[in-house]
Chain A
Amino acid sequence: MTIRIIGSAVTPFGELWNKNLRELLSDAMLEAITNASLSPTDVEAIFVANKAAGNFENQHHLNALVSMMFPHYPPAMRVEAACASGSMAMIAAELALLSGRYKTVVVVGGEKMTDVSAQETTHILSGAADNATEIGSTFPALYALIAKSHMNTFGTTRDQVSAVAVKNHKHAMKNANAQFHKEITIEQVNQSQLIADPLRLLDCSPVSDGAAAVVLSTRFVKGSTKLLGFGHAQDSINLSDRSSLTTFRATEGAMQQALAQTGLTRQQLQAAEVHDCFTIAEILAIEDLGFFPKGEGGRATIENKTTVGGQIVINPSGGLKACGHPVGATGVKQIAFLNSYIQRGDAKAALAHNVGGSGATAVVHILQK
């Protein structure tokens, strides 16, 4: 049985004061359904990805909220897995389709993050860490420990890490929905405000509002993108119990599963949306996914091997860093963006990599024309 992406949509990402969460979710779903040439009543079930609407705006029970947007109140479920909520909702939908229960479903992800202060956002996001053993941690702090370990072990330089941000801001210039349309330099990243040594402000993905949706179907639709396969793996939620701080075992495991399911090789993938919540995270991702040898991710980036004309285009959307990171939307946005990317002929096969927390959850999807 083949699952196809027959419609997709991404709202603009950014500080969207004129939109609340339900409007963002509704905008994305309606556009995706229209894009699929369906009517809302054709949707048999909805899978909703969101991390923290309960914290950001005291809105729980999102499955009911979203189902209510359809005239026939289809079955809906909400999925939460921190920053990997979107890709986990994708997996829930795919398993439901593969079981034969449904033939056409919608996956929607969204987050409304900008109505609270930066400190409050930091507090809410830190809920994805182990609150019993990582007291006082923040996500920049956890990734700072990872960055320092990578630098100490492999000699990764400050400029190499900054090159990730520079490249992703450049990619975002071509993405109309991206939060940032401004190119930056390595020097600007290196001199931006220190957040958690060695990570600086321009190493961090922004706080964003936004939503994305895809329509998945097991019905044949000519020319649609195929979801060839996925992988999903876990590791310890805290850093203390990890066997390595320079490798995300969950990413390695998810990639192995996805490749085995699809039968494709890494060389057949022309683009990848990877989880660059911090610049160092992209370096780990391209190494752990096997696109570059361990310790070579930083050098590959600064040598332009991860942009158009290089070995593989990493984060053509601008990634989390420059396109934005409305947490619950991100995993769905990666798939929706790659669907458009493939449909307009920029790639034949591409990969999406979504991470939850500091590497505890990883999901990989592979798409093909």
Chain B
Amino acid sequence: MQPARYWRDNKTWKVWVGKRGTVVVSTVVTVSSPEHAAFQPYSYVLVNFGTQQHEFMGSGHETFQEGDKVECALRKITSGDDRSLIGYGIKVKKVT
């Protein structure tokens, strides 16, 4: 993750954290890019927030079904070696 991009992207977090929506469709990724490999298998979901849709990674190894209620949360989204930046970003988790 590039530090300058990370600095730009984190300004959008406040728009999403806590926002709730409904899963439109989801899949489970078992082969990913190297920066996301530590999270495999992870869900990738399309979420409807009423006036807009957005795509997110699922939190942890949670799986989702169409119609599940989800909430946006700040989570690790990339992994690297011990010296690299730990990437945070928005994922979704089920509303319990």
Contact = CB atoms under 8 A, between A and B. Distances in A.
Contacts of A123: 33-35
A191 interface: no
A137 B27 CA distance: 10
A126 interface: yes
Interface residues of A, number: 32
A224 interface: no
Contacts, number: 84
A122 B66 contact: no
Interface stretch (A72-80, A233-241, A340-348): A233-241
Contacts of A238: 55
A133 B29 CA distance: 17
Interface in B73-95: 77, 89
B46 A122 contact: no
A152 B33 contact: no
A266 to B, nearest CB: 30
Contact of B29 (A148, A149, A152, A196): A196
A148 B9 CA distance: 30
B19 interface: no
Contacts of B56: 135-136
Interface of B: 9, 24-37, 39, 42, 44, 46, 52-57, 66, 77, 89
Contacts of B26: 145, 148
Interface in A82-132: 118-120, 122-123, 126, 132
B30 A194 contact: yes
Contacts of A241: 53
Contact of B32 (A119, A199, A245): A119
Contact of B25 (A122, A138, A148): A148
A134 interface: yes
A197 interface: yes
Contact of A119 (B37, B46, B89): B37
A221 interface: no
Contacts of B30: 193-196
